[in-house]
Amino acid sequence: MTVAAVTPRVWLADPAKNAEEIISLACEAAAVGADIIVSPEMSVTGSSCGDLFKQSILLDAAQKAAESVAKALPSLDATVVIGLPVPSEGGFSSGAAIIKRGRFVGSDSRFLLVTGDRIPEDLPEGTSLVLHLAAAPELVTSHAVRKRTLAGLTYRTGAAYVYCAAGYGESTGDAVYAGPSLIYQKGRLLAENGRFKTESGIIYAALDPSAEAEEPSPAPEVQMPNPHPFVPADPDVLALRCEEILSIQVNGLRTRLEHVGCKTAVLGISGGLDSTLALLVTAATFDSLGYDRKGIIAVTMPGFGTSKRTHSNASDLMAALGVDAREIPIGAAVSQHFSDIGHDPDNHNVTFENAQARERTQILMDIANDTDGLVVGTGDLSEIALGWCTYNGDHMANYSVNADVPKTLMQAMVRWAAVNRFPEARKTLLDIVDTPISPELTPVDEHGNIKQKTEDIVGPYELHDFFLYHLVRHARRPREIRSLALEAFAGKYDEATVDRWLRKFLWRFFSQQFKRSCSPEGPRVGSVCLSPRGAWAAPSDVSAALWVSDLD
């Protein structure tokens, strides 16, 4: 038997167009001898339609699209399985239609159907073939885990398993779908779809019941506690992690640009880590689309705290990448604003700082309006966890490519990119990694150097990323997190230091939820995500007292 997994290019909430794509792929697969053809979960509508599935107009259109697929394949000997939403009491469920010679059939004894993201731990006795219609967002390490799980399951059961997952065209609001289709039999990988493709694709495998089983390799042991849980210690693993994250970010931004029909991206470039990685992602995205990098409007906006080093690095980076580089000093505009609201410019309080961040955001948004562009956000996961961003300032954008990248991993990514992806900017990128992290919102010293250092104010990012990982990923109690941190950072931070910054982290994490509640969309890349749209739900007025008291 020959099986085929098709990964159609998705047109969200457009069943008629999706049906055309499925028909074309099914005919192509049947022409080369496929006996069973399977498409991803909700392939008729796209899986990321959310509450639109509650709309009868979409459910009705999905049914009509399924019928059109059947009517178009009356002479096809192959069995075709398509995913679609099925009306049910109180809403809908994820279902499948099995089509044979232009007719719907209720079942097929040759295979077991599975829908959803979860791969079953075991299979019913006697199962020889599983067709899994999936729509799983792509995260770092998820593909490796998926392959390891399928290898183990098919080795133990002797079954064949076709995992067919949704790909390009699904919403990238808070996740990226990479189309990671796989075919396994008895522990052996028979076929695999290249992930992150932007066009439809098909993989095939001839199933052989007499084939020998292949025992999968054991999973690597995890050493705990790791002081940098977001950053693999193995250089080769780290390189793969950086490559995978960049692919997720690029595909997220690419999908958004194509959806809105936009060929202009606008970014604020400070010479710091966050805006640097965002610019690299945008440059890689434009390259993948075949767009001229001059469509990237990169704006450096020196203010009262801009240092010579960051200003120079921002200018050098923009020049090296060949983007449309602009410089707009904000001093005069912010001074006028201070005069308008009656603020003493010698009072370097939060108003002094936030006025600069909001002025920069206003400039970027207005340039985007003027150029039919999209503002690419630069903020990272560590900053939104701590609330270390200005509400409606650097907190806001049209699409935030770094939203799920923590600061410790960001440093590693920029260093990796300097060596492996952007050699033309290597020297500048490496200097940016070595520059002290700062919002640069208070005046520099008399020599033009950075005076306001973030980690002197909120604490070391490596500690905060460690706290964040264990609080959100593993839901550990603060006292347990403190104990793990003391073990992980033994010899570097004493108990008083860890306790001080953990208390600071907890207070900031809970008190700043209101910023996360209205944060812009951006691609999820890992197991820790603070998007308010399903990944992390919490009230903006929650108290941190319970968590802080656990440390007493």
Side chain identity at residue 267, one-letter code = L
Instruction: Give me the DSSP letters along 301-327.
Output: ---TT--HHHHHHHHHHHHHHT-EEEE
Q: Is residue 123 part of a domain?
A: yes
Check whether residue 468 and residue 531 sit in a common domain. yes
Check whether residue 190 and residue 273 sit in a common domain. no
Q: Is residue 64 part of a domain?
A: yes
CA angle 220, 224, 229 (to 5 degrees): 90
Beta-bridge partner residues of 325 = 298
Q: Is residue 228 part of a domain?
A: no
In angstroms, the first-to-last Cα distance of the chain is: 65
- Please give the pLDDT value at position 117: 87
Residue where a domain terminates, one of 155, 190, 206: 206
Q: Is residue 146 part of a domain?
A: yes
CATH, residue 540: 3.40.50.620
CA–CA separation, 249 and 399 (whole Å): 11
Check whether residue 447 and residue 408 sit in a common domain. yes
Question: Which 3 state secondary structure label does DSSP give 236?
Answer: helix
Residue where a domain terminates, one of 160, 187, 206: 206
- Please give the pLDDT value at position 222: 61
Check whether residue 334 and residue 393 sit in a common domain. yes
Structural domain including 105 reads: 2-206
Check whether residue 260 and residue 177 sit in a common domain. no
As for how many domains the chain has, the answer is 2
Q: Tell me how far CA of residue 472 lies from CA of 52, 179, 510, in angstroms.
A: 29, 27, 12
Q: Is residue 230 part of a domain?
A: no
Check whether residue 378 and residue 507 sit in a common domain. yes
Check whether residue 394 and residue 468 sit in a common domain. yes
Q: Is residue 213 part of a domain?
A: no
Conformation bin of residue 90: beta by default, left when phi > 0, alpha when psi is -120 to 50: left
Check whether residue 299 and residue 172 sit in a common domain. no
Side chain identity at residue 336, one-letter code = Q
Residue where a domain terminates, one of 161, 191, 206: 206
- Please give the pLDDT value at position 73: 94
pLDDT tens for the chain, residues 1 to 552:
999 999 999 999 999 999 999 999 999 999 999 999 999 999 999 999 999 999 999 999 999 999 999 999 999 999 999 999 998 887 889 999 999 999 999 889 999 999 988 999 999 999 999 999 999 999 999 999 999 999 999 999 999 999 999 999 999 999 999 999 999 999 999 999 999 999 999 999 999 989 999 999 887 666 668 999 999 999 999 999 999 999 999 999 999 999 999 999 999 999 999 999 999 999 999 999 999 999 999 999 999 999 999 999 999 999 999 999 999 999 999 999 999 999 999 999 999 999 999 999 999 999 999 999 999 999 999 999 999 999 999 999 999 999 999 999 999 999 999 999 999 999 999 999 999 888 877 887 777 777 778 888 899 999 999 999 999 999 999 999 999 999 999 999 999 999 999 999 999 999 999 999 999 999 999 999 999 998 899 999 999 999 999 999
Cβ atoms of 526 and 138 closer than 8 Å: no
- What's CA 283's distance to the chain center, in Å? 17
Q: Is residue 218 part of a domain?
A: no
CATH, residue 76: 3.60.110.10
- Please give the pLDDT value at position 485: 97
In this structure, how many other beta carbons lie within 10 angstroms of the beta carbon of residue 62?
29
- Give the residue from 17, 128, 26, 123 showing the smallest Cα distance to 82: 26
- Please give the pLDDT value at position 46: 96
Check whether residue 272 and residue 169 sit in a common domain. no
Largest CA distance in the chain: 83
- Please give the pLDDT value at position 217: 85
- Give the residue from 119, 137, 10, 50 showing the smallest Cα distance to 404: 137
Check whether residue 454 and residue 517 sit in a common domain. yes
Q: Is residue 227 part of a domain?
A: no
CA atoms in the 13 A half-sphere facing the CB of 52:
17
Residues in the chain, how many? 552
Single pTM value for the model:
0.93
Check whether residue 202 and residue 248 sit in a common domain. no
Cis peptide before 225 (omega within 30 of 0): yes
Check whether residue 94 and residue 241 sit in a common domain. no
